């Protein structure tokens, strides 16, 4: 015999479980996949203003030229007291040769002028006083800030190991573009909202199931063979 309200109970349970799963996914997935960082310096202006919140994809499979990355500073441990994390842009990767000749308007990559539309005031060589030429080792990257006048980067650590480059494994994350950040936050927020609505919807359904379950129909009376019904006595006929 099918129990009354069974469909309501199943629906409430499914909504409750699905809601909690979506809430957990919406809250935990961003923490596992991404890392939020407050940009405290001006080295990445104008693209990333001081005080801007930035979202980085953790443990990237590949680091490419042009990527804005979050890195540890231990790779530049050349006697200077560095602490915390840095946000810089990858301008050269393993196998590239990045160079600057004093007085030149641009850096060169592989002997060709490097186009850098992201630098502040269109001044890619600002803050670069000494000429340099660095052949980036395999598995390393060469980093610069977009605001060259306010950035301590690979140019200033030429005496460190690997000529100021850092190992790719010291890259903790690659910054999402504004469009990717907006989309990621929208999807995560939507999942959380839908999950919360599913949990809320399960409550009245669960209550309805309990009410229906308690209102059990009266058990039918089973006739007894041989039983007789005694009618009340009426007035005697005269």
pLDDT in tens, the chain (238 residues): 456 567 878 888 888 899 889 988 888 887 888 999 999 889 999 999 999 889 999 988 899 999 999 998 776 765 554 557 899 999 999 999 999 999 899 999 999 999 999 999 999 999 888 899 999 999 999 999 999 999 989 998 877 667 889 899 989 999 998 888 888 888 888 999 999 999 998 888 888 878 887 776 555 555 555 555 555 555 554 4
In whole angstroms, how large is the CA radius of gyration of the chain?
Answer: 35
The pLDDT value recorded for residue 19 is 87
pLDDT of residue 81: 46
Residues 166, 109: Cα–Cα separation, whole Å = 18
| CA distances in angstroms from 166 to 86, 122, 213, listed in the order given | 12, 26, 67
**Domain boundaries in the chain?**
6-30+184-214, 34-177
Per-residue confidence (pLDDT) for residue 30, from 0 to 100: 79
According to DSSP, residue 164 is labeled: G
Predicted confidence (pLDDT) per residue in 21-69, tens digit: 998 888 888 788 899 999 988 999 999 999 988 999 998 889 999 999 9
Sign of CA dihedral 205, 210, 213, 217: negative
Q: Which CATH class is domain 34-177?
A: mainly beta
Dist. CA 80–CA 231, nearest whole Å: 111
């Amino acid at each position: 015999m099918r129990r009354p309200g069974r469909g309501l109970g199943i629906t409430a349970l499914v909504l409750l479980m699905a809601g909690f799963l979506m809430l957990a996914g919406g809250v935990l997935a961003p923490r596992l996949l991404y890392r939020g960082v407050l940009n405290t310096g001006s080295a990445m202006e104008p693209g990333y203003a001081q005080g801007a919140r930035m979202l980085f994809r953790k443990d990237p499979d590949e680091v490419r030229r042009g990527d804005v990355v979050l890195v540890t500073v231990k790779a530049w441990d050349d006697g200077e007291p560095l602490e915390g994390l840095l946000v810089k842009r990858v301008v050269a990767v393993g196998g590239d040769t990045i160079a600057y000749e004093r007085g030149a308007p641009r850096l060169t990559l592989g002997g060709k002028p490097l186009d850098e539309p992201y630098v502040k005031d269109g001044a890619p060589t600002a803050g670069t006083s000494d000429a340099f030429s660095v052949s980036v080792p395999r598995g390393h990257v060469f980093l610069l800030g977009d605001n060259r006048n306010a950035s301590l980067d690979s140019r200033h650590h030429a005496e460190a190991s690997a000529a100021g480059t850092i190992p790719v494994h010291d890259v903790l994350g690659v910054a999402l573009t504004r469009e990717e950040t907006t989309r990621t936050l929208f999807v995560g927020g939507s999942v959380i909202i839908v999950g919360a609505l599913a949990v809320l919807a399960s409550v009245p359904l669960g209550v309805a199931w309990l009410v229906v379950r308690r209102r059990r129909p009266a058990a039918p009376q089973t006739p007894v063979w041989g039983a007789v019904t005694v009618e009340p006595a009426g007035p005697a006929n005269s």
